[in-house]
Amino acid sequence: MAEIDAAPFAFPFQRDQIALVVIDMQRDFVEPGGFGASLGNDVSLLGAIVPTVRRLLDGFRVAGLPIFHTRECHLPDLSDCPDAKRMRGAPSLRIGDDGPMGRILIAGEPGADIIPELAPQSGEIVIDKPGKGAFYATDLGRMLEERGVKQLVFAGVTTEVCVQTTMREANDRGYDCLLATDATESYFPAFKAAAIAMITAQGGIVGWAAPTDAILEALNG
C-alpha cells in the first residue's frame, strides 16, 4: 500500500478513495474589507499559502482525483444565518452589511467568491455552507458517498475554525483526514500550531498532518 509520510504516523493513501477539500479560500477571508477583516483580523497572513494551495489543487487535477471547494456564505435574506452568529461581538461590519466587496459573507457577492488564483475548474464541486463545518446543512456527505470517497485531504482557511471543524465532522463520519500543513493558515499562528497538534495528538485522534510535497509525492508516485 502507498503511504504518505505524515504525523503522527504514515497515512495509508488509497488513490481510488481520496479527494481534496479546499476550505473557504474566499475574498471575504483573504482580502481587506471582507468578513475576516471586519472581525478585526490582519488578513495579510493568509495570502502566503495561496501558491501552495494552488500546487496541491494542480496535483489533484493532474491525477484526475475529485476536488471540492467550500465557501462560507449566507442567503441574501439571511434566513440561514442565526442571530447568534450575526449579532455576536462588535465587528466593524456584520454579516449582510454592505462592504467594499459587496454584502459581507453573502452568496453571489464579490467577497464570497473564491480568490481568482484558486478558482474552481469545470468538474470541481463548490459547496456553499452556512456554518463553520462543511457537512452541516450541505450535500457534502451525500456527494462524497456517491463518489466512493473515504479519505480527505484538507487545505484552506482558517486552520482552527472552518478547517478543523470540518475535519472533526469528517472524522466522526468515518473519513481518514489528512491536513496539508503548509496549505492552511490562521489569523493566529499559535492557533494554527495548536490545531495541528490537537488533530495529530493521541494517535491521530482527529487525523493526520503532512506537508504538501509529501502529499504530491504520493499522488505522482
Residue 72 or 218 with smaller CB distance to ligand TIU: 72
Active-site position among 162, 177, 182, 192:
162
Residue 63 or 194 with smaller CB distance to ligand TIU: 194
Active site residue 83: no
d(CA 93, CA 174): 38
Residue 69 or 132 with smaller CB distance to ligand TIU: 132
State in angstroms the smallest separation of the CB of 163 from ligand TIU.
Answer: 7
d(CA 215, CA 217): 5
Active site residue 132: no
Active-site position among 81, 128, 129, 177:
129
- Using CB under 6 A, list all residues that contact ligand TIU: 24, 29, 36, 39, 72, 132, 157-158, 161-162, 187
Helix 189-204 / helix 164-172 crossing angle, nearest 10 deg: 20
Residue 135 or 187 with smaller CB distance to ligand TIU: 187
d(CA 197, CA 8): 10
State in angstroms the smallest separation of the CB of 64 from ligand TIU.
Answer: 27
**CB atoms < 10 A from the CB of 84, how many?**
7
State in angstroms the smallest separation of the CB of 26 from ligand TIU.
Answer: 8
d(CA 14, CA 34): 38
Active site residue 129: yes
Distances in whole angstroms, Cα of residue 181 to Cα of each of 118, 122, 153, 217: 17, 26, 10, 15
Q: Which residues are catalytic?
A: 24, 129, 162
